[in-house]
Amino acid sequence: SPEFFTKLIKASGHAPGEITYAGDRPDNDIRPACAMGLFTVWVKRGPWGFITGVDEAVDLALDDLAALPQRLAPESGAWAGLL
- Of the candidates 20, 26, 31, 36, the one whose C-alpha atom is nearest the C-alpha of residue 82 is 20
The span from the CA of 16 to the CA of 27, in Å, is 19
Give the rounded distance of the alpha carbon of 10 from its chain centre. Answer: 17
Helix (H, G, I), strand (E, B) or coil at 71: helix
The sign of the CA dihedral 35, 36, 38, 43 is negative
Supply angle C-alpha 2, 18, 44, rounded to 5.
70
pLDDT at residue 47, as a whole number: 78
For residue 25, the model assigns a pLDDT of 87
pLDDT in tens, the chain (83 residues): 789 999 999 999 999 999 999 998 888 889 899 999 999 999 988 777 777 766 677 898 888 888 888 887 776 666 554 44
